[in-house]
Chain A
Amino acid sequence: MPETKKVLLVDDDVDLVEANKIVLEANGYTVVTAYNGEDGLNTALKETPDIIILDVSMEKKDEGFYVSQRIRSRPEIAKTPILMITAIHKCTKLKFSPQTDGEYLPVNEFLDKPVDPSTLISLVEKWIKASQN
């Protein structure tokens, strides 16, 4: 029996976290959750998940961007793939600092909410496999 993969869900929307947790657990993943950026980073450091699913707009409108940068700056979790999901499309004119500063947003995938369960599973699978090769 293969070792189960661990997914970290970071989102302030408890209902969405719950729904995604159900989908992921049903597909054999271990799920850990956090409801804001600070908790998300701490949980990532503690649990060292195989993949992080990160919301953008939490306590601050662009919190997810900074969380992603901080994850990349920590060596122990820097290589963990990040799926970024948001209700605001990436083309929005809202000022998300890393974008307006022209910085590369250090995430592997950028997705619009809601993500269909099958899409979610296939993307999680794909990025975990990619990170292990």
Chain B
Amino acid sequence: MDKGISKLIRPLTCLKKRLAFKVILWIGLILVVFLELVCYLDLRSHKNLLFKQMKEEAYRLSDIIKRSTHHDMMRARSNELQEVLETIGSQEDVRKARIIERGRVKMASQKEEVGREVDKKAEACYDCHEEEGKKPLTVTRYRFFKTEDGERVLGFVNPLYNDEECHSCHGSDTEVLGVLDIILSMEKVYKNINIHQNRSFIFILAGFVLIAISIGILILRFVNRPIKQLSDGTKRITNGDLKYHIPINTEDEIGELAASFNNMTDNLRASRKEIEAWNEELSDRVKVATTQLEKTNNDLEIANKKLSESDKKKSEVVMLVAHDIRAPLASIKSCLKVVLDGYLKNDRPKEMEMIRRAEERVESQLDFVKNLLDFTRMEEEHREMRPIEIKPIVKNVADMMQAWANDKHIKVEIRNLPDVSIMGDEDLIERSLANLISNAIKYNPPDTLIWVDCLLKGELLEIEVGDNGVGIPDDEIPELFEILFRGVNARRQQEHGSGLGLSIVKRAVNIHGGHIRVESKLGAGTSFFITLPVLKSEKKEELASAHAISKEN
């Protein structure tokens, strides 16, 4: 039930909030008050006019009666006079017409009234006879009152003066003989006024309705619709549709508002576009920065890994070096201890042998330490590279090695040997070749063939140091150039190698911008290939002269 009421009330409260409703209400109220006022004034003046007309009519009628009865009066024909009054009284609007003399009805339109005493204090008399002895009425008097039936009437009292011609009958002692009292019905007038009033009311109502409807339509057309469009537009824009334009093209204030609103939307859209572009750029930049950062991080991780790997490797190398120093020292000590503790005091030759063994180990140990130092320095030392000829170096090394190889009936053979130069360090090249040839001599059986073959391949010189000896097992190849690596064969040979020979060769070749590789087959032999960049002849001369000049200086 309550719900039903509130359902009814809600639209009303909504309506109360509506702009149109407010405008209609206020303008309507003002109009109603104004029209009411106009009507009231109009009605009043109309009423006054009608009353005045009524009074004039009453006066005229009274005058007519007075004049038309004058003759009868003169002749004292009271019966005729009575008839005249009756005739007049029968007229539609005339309620009464009577002649009153000295407080008594003398004649009347209604016969039954004749002879009746009139209360001087009654409404028709009161004005003049209010007080006893007051001067009787000398002028006509009007009065409006209601009859006992409730009819509104106009009473008109016309005094009958005691003219000279009347003195014959009435004497001359009184000024006024009596009054002619006429009562006219006012109902017609009031009806007229009522009609007028009703018409005015209908006009006001119609006007009000018309104006309200007009205002409503106008507000709807010029205010409500554009405002709804504006409000819908703002909703769409709020929801992100910045492309929306409010379709109002009027030149009034709302049109201006819509235009500036559209303008604002355009600006907003432009700003948003800018922001979006900026955002995109920002996100791109962030992406790029992130990628770079990731890359840097990755690089750093790799570098770190490499560093820790190289650290690990270094400490491993240090361990290996420690082992390779400590093991021979242990041997030397043991050999000497046997002698010193007198284990061989009865065996002089054996004693000497143990001392010789110790001495030999000290010798090889000195060699090892020297090689180790050389190897370590190779990386750190700054070398002066200069043009060197390959031919004399190869020949020199081969000759030197041949002398040693003769013991094992091994031949060191030079095959091709072109006349080329390289930029480099003579000692290192010499030493590299010597290491490779001496390895071949040391670790191969007697009667092995060793060869050195130099081939020019474009701008590169390839030096092969090969043998037809025992070969190297496949599993040792990857470790061959590692520092302190010694193959099984090398260890079995009982030669006190340092494990540094091939490491030194590899490092030396790398310093010269070249590289080394190995091909080997177990039981068939091994070949090392050193590749070095060749120095072009014109450049060689240039450098040689430069070198000569620097020497002169």
Contact = CB atoms under 8 A, between A and B. Distances in A.
Contacts of B326: 87-88, 113
Interface centre among A13, A18, A60, A114, by most chain B C-beta atoms within 10 angstroms, is A114
A15 interface: yes
A88 B331 contact: no
Interface centre among B315, B323, B334, B335, by most chain A C-beta atoms within 10 angstroms, is B334
A20 B354 CA distance: 11
Contact of A114 (B333, B357, B491, B492): B333
A87 B95 CA distance: 163
Contacts of A88: 319, 322-323, 326
Contacts of A35: 492
B361 interface: yes
B7 to A, nearest CB: 86
B9 interface: no
B331 A19 contact: yes
A12 B491 CA distance: 8
A15 B357 contact: yes
B330 interface: yes
B378 to A, nearest CB: 25
Contacts of B343: 22-23, 26, 117
B494 interface: yes
A10 B357 CA distance: 19
Contacts of A114: 329-331, 333-334, 337
A116 interface: yes
Contacts of A87: 323, 326-327, 330
A94 B313 CA distance: 11
Contacts of B354: 18-19, 22
A16 B334 contact: yes
B301 interface: no
A59 B341 contact: no
A36 interface: yes
A19 B328 CA distance: 13
Interface in B474-517: 488, 491-492, 494
Contacts of B488: 59-60
A92 interface: yes
B337 A19 contact: yes
B358 A57 contact: no
Contacts of A115: 334
A113 B319 contact: no
Interface string A78-116: 000000000110001110000000000000000001111
Contacts of B337: 19, 114, 116-117
B330 A113 contact: yes
B491 A19 contact: no
Contacts of A18: 335, 354, 357
Interface string B306-335: 000000000110011011001111111111
A45 interface: no
A36 B494 CA distance: 11
A15 B491 contact: no
A6 to B, nearest CB: 19
A20 B322 CA distance: 22
A58 interface: yes
A46 to B, nearest CB: 20
A14 interface: yes
A47 B485 CA distance: 33
Contact of B334 (A20, A36, A58, A92): A20
Nearest to B326: A87
Chain A interface main SS type = loop
A59 B486 CA distance: 8
A93 B492 contact: no
Contact of B358 (A15, A22, A36, A58): A15
Contacts of B322: 88
Contacts of A58: 491
Contact of B341 (A13, A16, A93, A117): A117
A16 B335 CA distance: 7
Contact of A15 (B315, B316, B350, B361): B361
Nearest to B489: A59
A60 B485 CA distance: 10
A114 to B, nearest CB: 4
Nearest to A14: B494
B319 A117 contact: no
Given A22-B338, A88-B319, A15 B331 contact: yes
Contacts of B323: 57, 87-88
Contact of A19 (B315, B319, B335): B335
B344 interface: yes
Contacts of B350: 22
B475 to A, nearest CB: 11
Contacts of B316: 93-94
Contact of A13 (B315, B320, B327, B492): B327
B494 A15 contact: no
A112 B323 CA distance: 11
Given A94-B319, A113-B327, A19 B334 contact: yes
A75 B491 CA distance: 30
Nearest to B332: A15
Given A22-B350, A36-B492, A88-B323, 12 more contacts: A15-B335, A15-B361, A16-B330, A19-B354, A22-B338, A60-B488, A87-B326, A88-B322, A93-B316, A94-B320, A114-B329, A114-B334
Interface of B: 315-316, 319-320, 322-323, 326-335, 337-338, 341, 343-344, 350, 354, 357-358, 361, 488, 491-492, 494
Interface of A: 12-16, 18-20, 22-23, 26, 35-36, 57-60, 87-88, 92-94, 113-117
Pairs A-B, 4 closest by C-beta atoms: A113-B330, A87-B327, A19-B334, A114-B330
